[in-house]
Amino acid sequence: MEEMPWGTHICVFYQSKKDLLDAAVSFFRAGLESNEFCIWAVADSISIAEATGVLSDAIPQFDVRFRSGQMELLPARDWYIAGHRFDPKRTIGGWNQKLNAALARGYDGIRISGDAYWLQTNYWMEYFAYEKELDKGLVGQKMIALCTFSLRASGAVDHLLDVAGAHHFSIIRRKGEWEFLESPELMRTGLDDARLHGARDILSKPFPGQDGLTPRERVVLTQIVTGRSNRKVAQMLGVSPRTIEFHRSNIMKKLGANNSADLVRKVLREG
């Protein structure tokens, strides 16, 4: 969860409470170390005291940063619901107010995460609208958002692809392992099962040369394998096409690929 550009919108599906906590620790550690203001709207299954304790145990100098006001933890239900009503515009407006306040205090930007599986079941249409509006609202903003969804919640499972499609990329965290989830666009490309399986697992299964790639190069590589153009990847990650071309060139050199087709074959172990 490091080296992500501003405007990135991530989805993590988790199986257990431990998987959720592991994802949060990874996400917020990177933000705190990068002079970002961090906000966690904590799931009902975790108390604020428990969340604070886990972060304190796992992140160096967390207590100092927390006392200085660099991070805020609040119950997700209190953040999302006002007067027994979920209003996507109000919630997104609240994130923007947090961003402006953080920038005024000298932080480089903000990193936010929220979890509310009860919204996904009771307020599904409003919540999906919120995810789509949040994705649009992140463009050009110094904000990174992580949305977490319980795999055990029927709403999240029934609408898995809808949720994934509203984010730049999606990851499953279960049994202590990370698994990359293919986007709906990838599933519609008609790739054969073996190739599709390989693309899905780029971020979780080894391939020759992967250790030499930076986290950002791995994200770009995943998008390349799905067949997206430099322009499309640049739009998704909030950077210029020239930046994506730079990453693509570096990836090809590191993996010893002659062209994009050769790169895909090497990563997916085809031939």
Same domain flag for 162 and 204: no
Same domain flag for 81 and 163: yes
Same domain flag for 129 and 250: no
User: CA-CA distance, 252 to 265, in Å (whole number)?
Assistant: 12
- Whether the full predicted model's pTM is greater than 0.75, yes or no, is no
User: CA-CA distance, 113 to 196, in Å (whole number)?
Assistant: 29
Q: Give the range of the structural domain holding residue 258, as residue numbers without chain letter.
A: 193-268
Domain count, the chain: 2
Residue 245: CB atoms within 10 A of its CB come to 14
Instruction: Answer yes or no: is 15 within a domain.
Output: yes
User: CA-CA distance, 205 to 197, in Å (whole number)?
Assistant: 10
Percent of the chain with pLDDT over 90: 30
Same domain flag for 204 and 165: no
Same domain flag for 168 and 198: no
User: CA-CA distance, 1 to 146, in Å (whole number)?
Assistant: 10
CA dihedral 251, 255, 259, 262 (to 10 degrees): -130
Same domain flag for 97 and 30: yes
Residues present in the chain in total: 271
Instruction: Answer yes or no: is 187 within a domain.
Output: no
Tokens of 216: 């950002």
Same domain flag for 43 and 17: yes
Q: Round the average pLDDT of the chain to a whole number and report it.
A: 79
Tokens of 159: 């609408």
Same domain flag for 208 and 164: no
The dihedral through the CA atoms of 215, 34, 9, 16 has a sign that is positive
Instruction: Answer yes or no: is 3 within a domain.
Output: no
Query: Where does 112-229 have alpha helices with state H?
Result: 117-122, 124-137, 154-158, 160-165, 184-187, 193-200, 215-225
Same domain flag for 148 and 228: no
Same domain flag for 62 and 167: yes
Q: Give the domain CATH number at 205.
A: 1.10.10.10
pLDDT classification of 197: cutoffs 50, 70, 90: very low
CB contact at 8 A, 164 and 131: no
pLDDT classification of 115: cutoffs 50, 70, 90: confident
Residue 188 above 50 pLDDT?
no
Residue 200 above 50 pLDDT?
no
Residue 217 above 90 pLDDT?
no
Instruction: Answer yes or no: is 188 within a domain.
Output: no
List of residues 6+ apart from 165 with CB closer than 8 A: 183, 184, 185
Q: What is the pLDDT of residues 47-79, one digit of tens each?
A: 999 999 999 999 999 999 999 999 999 999 889
pLDDT classification of 183: cutoffs 50, 70, 90: very low
Q: Give the domain CATH number at 26.
A: 3.40.50.300
Same domain flag for 105 and 197: no
Query: Where does the chain have alpha helices with state H?
Result: 17-32, 48-58, 62-67, 76-80, 88-104, 117-122, 124-137, 154-158, 160-165, 184-187, 193-200, 215-225, 230-237, 241-255, 260-268
Same domain flag for 23 and 129: yes
Residue 133: CB atoms within 10 A of its CB come to 15
Instruction: Answer yes or no: is 208 within a domain.
Output: yes
